Amino acid sequence: MTIAVAVKRLPHGTDLPLPDYATIGAAGIDLLAAVSADTEVAPGARALIPTGIAIALPTNFELQIRPRSGLALKHGLMIANSPGTIDADYRGEIKIIVLNASTERFVITRGMRVAQAVLAPVLRIIWNETEDLDFTCRGSGGFGSTGLNERSPESSAKG
């Protein structure tokens, strides 16, 4: 399935190719750094990386900005607000908030694939206020309440 999305190249991104999928089966489209000069991200630091594009998403869609797995594993480069969201009514430049979670400096160069973006449908909530919620085996247990290890067959059978 494909969805048409209007894209505008900004002056500082005109020489860069439009974002594209690296493979035919890729879910994410690679976003490129439209930096004017090499940008160093120190260990533990954040940087705002321009992409040189602005878009007009159709209503009821968002563009999720996610880290690239290779950069995360090999260099500790994360997306600080992952996943970031580009809303359907936003018309400004897409910029990526990167976080260097490694102990080494990382340099972002012009045209580097720094993040990936996934188009996703947006469902809207209509609140149905109630006094009671339905029962589940988990109940209000959260933040680690299901443990770290594989669940036993007995607990799986119970829910």
Exposure string for 15-39, b = 16+ CB within 10 A, e = fewer: ebeebeeeeeeeebbbbbbbbeeeb
Instruction: Output the pLDDT for position 99.
Output: 98
Distance CA 90, CA 54 (A): 9
Q: Please state the pTM of the whole predicted model.
A: 0.85
Angstrom distance (rounded) from CA 15 to CA 37:
14
Average of per-residue pLDDT across 9-26? 97
pLDDT in tens, 131-151: 999 998 888 888 887 778 876
pLDDT cut 90: percent of the chain above it = 84
Task: Say if residue 156's pLDDT is above 80.
Answer: no
Domains of the chain and CATH, by start: 19-121 (2.70.40.10)
